[in-house]
Structure 1
Amino acid sequence: MLSFRARLFLAFALLWLLFLGGAWYLAGRSVDQALKRRLEATLAQDALRAAEAYQKGQAGALLTTGGVYLHLYAQDGTPIALTRPDHRLPPERLRRAGPTPEVLWEEGFAAALVATPLGLLVLTAETSPIEAALEALREALLRAFLLLFPLGLALVYLTARLAARPLEAVAREITRRSPDRLDPVPHRLPKDEFGRMVEAVNALLQALKEAKERERAFLAEASHELRTPLTVLLGHLDRLARNPMDLEALRTARATAERMRRLVEDLLALARGEVERNLNLHIVDLGEVAREAALEYGVAAEAESAEVLGDPDRLLQLLRNLVANAVRAAGKEGVRVRVRREADHALLEVEDSGPGIPEDLLPRLFQRFARGPGGGTGLGLAIAHAIAKAHGGEIAVESRPGRTVFRVRLPLLEEEA
């Protein structure tokens, strides 16, 4: 396949050829028409003057412009006087004569006819001067074409080369790169279509770079999160190996294994995107879900009935994550769950009286592995955020020492609005 530079050169060369060919044709046609109009005007003017002189009997005044020949015909078309026998017109052409001069074009000459009471006057002129002028013009245009066409091709080649050089530099830069090199591609393109294209590629590379960095950080955090409980679990198993009746070590090992199981489930849910996909939608009473979660963790609940369209399991998971986070921060006695209707939304609040969340943590609180004072895996809030977003809702937090409130807004069903 031809390169971009070659295609650009061929396109410009074709345009240059069409331009020169069109100029050649239009110039010849324009000059041809101008010369013919001038000859027609000359013949018509001489025909009028000759007709006036002939009707007045002033035969000596039948003078014409140079190169014009005068012929006399009877009314029936019979020649009376022909100054150029080869310019004789057939009778059917003479019948077109009238008081106003009419110009006819014959092969090799042009004729102007005018009728008078005494007969028909015909003035003729050869067209060879016009043809000679046109031939000279064509030769001059051809010489100009032969001179300008190669010069134009050279200019087109340089233009195509200069236009393609920045793109070729960008292409070489991208070709030389390894899959791990995702920094922006340097370029000197203007802000045109190609420049915007490279900027879009750079934006994509930046997004891929950030995604890869997040992936590395995620894997590092996940490895750390799994290594810590594994170390604890192995320690307790060593204790059990030395003393199989150590019930405290057994309980701690079981709790550690349960924490690892939840961590792995959360990691799989985030990695597979299961939080956002495959929602099993039903009509769900958010107040009932809140009461179930509150009962499970033994915290206080004030929950109105508020029906939403959602996945009951995912919404219960959202409640569990928020309540578990609050219980770790403030204990069961310091946590309260509320659900109420607010305009066309259901408002879910989980409030605790814990120490609060540091201000520097709030902007990234819903990111993976962002831990608050209560500890945890750092995934629960990220999953809660994803579940709320998947249900068309939003989640926000307000925190100060002694009071932290997580608020989730979900669209109510239309009949509840």
Structure 2
Amino acid sequence: MPPLSFRLRLFLSFSLLWLLFLVGALYLAGRGVERALRGHLEATLLEDAARAAEAYRKGQAGTLLPTGGVYLHLYAEDGEALVLTRGEHRLPKEALRGVGERPQVVWHSDFAAALVRTPLGLLVLTQDTAPIDLSLLALRRALLEAFFLLFPLGMLLVYLTARLATRPLERAAREIAARSPERLDPVPITLPKDAFGGMVEAVNRLLLALKEAKEKERTFLAEASHELRTPLTVLLGHLDRLKRNPLDLEALQTAQATAERMRRLVEDLLALARGEAERTLNPHIVDLRALAAEAAREYGVAFSGEAVEVLGDPDRLLQMLRNLIANGVRAAGKEGVRVALRREGEVALLEVADTGPGIPQDLLPHLFQRFARGPGGGAGLGLAIAQAIARAHGGEIAVESRPGRTIFRVRLPLLEEEA
């Protein structure tokens, strides 16, 4: 059995509510009218009985005649009927027990009676309830007719309301269902700022994020292909030279350096894909000065610093330093890069400064995002991995830049004395 549509479920739910409301309202209306009629009759009988009892006490009994549909009866103390103006309204003796000077009303199947004690005996005033029953019967017919008129009318209004309410939602559902990896444009529907409108906005934000991610992926693949193609071309050229002249040491060294560059690029790709920069840490007591000096010497850049120890993974920290220094070298050349290390309170402060053209201000907030590419080139991976490594060690990388001066500041917690 196929699932019910949202419109049908909404229609059925509100139809049930309308049915319950209508039945309840008509039932309460009927009960209210019945209580009002019976209450009015009871109040009239009590008032007449009290007036008649007062007249009897004053010796103004007069003639016992029915007046205005009310019948007067007189019973002895033992319950024997003295005067009956309507035989059908005769009360059994059990009903006359305990009658006092304060009027009280009893109900029977076809009449109501008010009883009160007087000097002449037990006075009973009765009145037929047939008019009330007929009125209630007419009222029930009218309420039933109203039900058969109002229920389908309400159902129609509920259907129109459900259709009107669900139309934009169904349109939004069709538009969302039409989206695919090849079609990620936003849903062109504007709804009020309610739950459904927020849902469409959230879907549009998700589509926009997916579109941006897909564009970044496409850009990354193109840049990664370019980054790999260039060293591969160089590597193949030098291998060809070595094939012709196996003793060409310069070609061998260049091929080895090129292969190392490719290896690091592939490691960066794997680190991002697996999240290894954040997860696979092998902590040791690390001499950060020796580590920074090694990375600076490897790239041929200037270094100065004091002895600083941190707790961390030396391989990951060295990878972070290499990525930062390589970024500066691409921007300013190795002569324009300087690495410095010092203590700053409870942290170790490592600075990598370069004299390159600077980073555009609109790019700075996104500089450490994956696939974000600065003006110095690269595949947009190194800075993202460097930030991930710094955070995995409880630190952070900040950057400030202007034309001719860019500084990356790495803050890492110092090794505690207890450690």
Q: Same fold (TM over 0.5)?
A: yes
Report how far residue 117 of structure 1 moved: 3.1
Q: Is the 8 A contact 1:357 1:399 kept in 2?
A: no
Q: Is the 8 A contact 1:322 1:384 kept in 2?
A: yes
Mean alpha-carbon deviation: is it higher for 223-232 or for 328-337?
328-337
Report how far residue 97 of structure 1 moved: 1.2
Report how far residue 400 of structure 1 moved: 5.0
**5+ residue gaps in structure 2?**
none
Amino acid at match of 2:25: A
- Equivalence for 2:348: 347
Q: Is the 8 A contact 1:349 1:405 kept in 2?
A: no
Q: Is the 8 A contact 1:74 1:119 kept in 2?
A: yes
- Equivalence for 2:40: 38
Residues in 1 aligned to 2:416 and 2:100: alpha-carbon distance in whole angstroms: 91
Q: Is the 8 A contact 1:67 1:126 kept in 2?
A: yes
Amino acid at match of 1:172: R
Residues in 2 aligned to 1:154 and 1:16: alpha-carbon distance in whole angstroms: 11
Q: Is the 8 A contact 2:11 2:159 kept in 1?
A: yes
Mean alpha-carbon deviation: is it higher for 53-62 or for 230-239?
53-62
Q: Is the 8 A contact 1:50 1:61 kept in 2?
A: no
- Equivalence for 1:397: 399
Q: Is the 8 A contact 2:337 2:355 kept in 1?
A: no
Residues in 2 aligned to 1:212 and 1:379: alpha-carbon distance in whole angstroms: 16
Q: 1:246 to 1:410 in 2, by over 3 A?
A: closer
Q: Is the 8 A contact 2:359 2:406 kept in 1?
A: no
Q: Is the 8 A contact 2:277 2:385 kept in 1?
A: yes
Report how far residue 65 of structure 1 moved: 5.0
Aligned 1:131-142 pairs, distance under 5 A: 131-142=133-144
Q: 1:312 to 1:83 in 2, by over 3 A?
A: farther
Residues in 1 aligned to 2:284 and 2:260: alpha-carbon distance in whole angstroms: 32
Q: Is the 8 A contact 2:65 2:71 kept in 1?
A: no
- Equivalence for 1:94: 96
Report how far residue 293 of structure 1 moved: 2.9
Residues in 1 aligned to 2:109 and 2:336: alpha-carbon distance in whole angstroms: 117
SS at match of 1:178: coil
Residues in 1 aligned to 2:352 and 2:288: alpha-carbon distance in whole angstroms: 16
Q: 1:123 to 1:401 in 2, by over 3 A?
A: closer
- Equivalence for 2:254: 252
Q: 1:413 to 1:55 in 2, by over 3 A?
A: farther
Residues in 1 aligned to 2:380 and 2:173: alpha-carbon distance in whole angstroms: 43
Aligned 1:274-285 pairs, distance under 5 A: 274-280=276-282, 282=283, 284-285=285-286
Q: 1:413 to 1:124 in 2, by over 3 A?
A: farther
Q: 1:392 to 1:116 in 2, by over 3 A?
A: farther
Q: Please say if 1:302 is aligned against 2:301.
A: no
Q: Is the 8 A contact 2:306 2:341 kept in 1?
A: yes
Amino acid at match of 1:339: R
SS at match of 2:389: helix
Residues in 2 aligned to 1:399 and 1:158: alpha-carbon distance in whole angstroms: 61
Residues in 2 aligned to 1:152 and 1:23: alpha-carbon distance in whole angstroms: 14
Report how far residue 315 of structure 1 moved: 2.4
Aligned 1:1-400 pairs, distance under 5 A: 1-60=3-62, 66-280=68-282, 282=283, 284-285=285-286, 288-295=287-294, 297-298=296-297, 300-305=303-308, 307-308=310-311, 310-326=312-328, 329=332, 331=334, 335-342=338-345, 345-352=346-353, 354-360=354-360, 363=364, 364-367=366-369, 368=371, 370-371=373-374, 378-399=380-401
Percent identity between the two aligned chains? 67
Q: 1:34 to 1:283 in 2, by over 3 A?
A: farther
SS at match of 2:62: helix
Amino acid at match of 1:31: V
Q: 1:117 to 1:411 in 2, by over 3 A?
A: farther
Q: Deviations over 1:307-335 (max 9, x none)?
A: 45x44432232233334545674648963
**5+ residue gaps in structure 1?**
none
Residues in 1 aligned to 2:380 and 2:90: alpha-carbon distance in whole angstroms: 111
Aligned pair count reads 408
Q: 1:372 to 1:291 in 2, by over 3 A?
A: farther
- Equivalence for 1:410: 412
Residues in 2 aligned to 1:340 and 1:191: alpha-carbon distance in whole angstroms: 52
Q: Is the 8 A contact 1:290 1:337 kept in 2?
A: no
Q: What is the RMSD computed on CA atoms of the aligned residues?
A: 2.7
Q: Deviations over 1:372-391 (max 9, x none)?
A: 65x76653322111212333
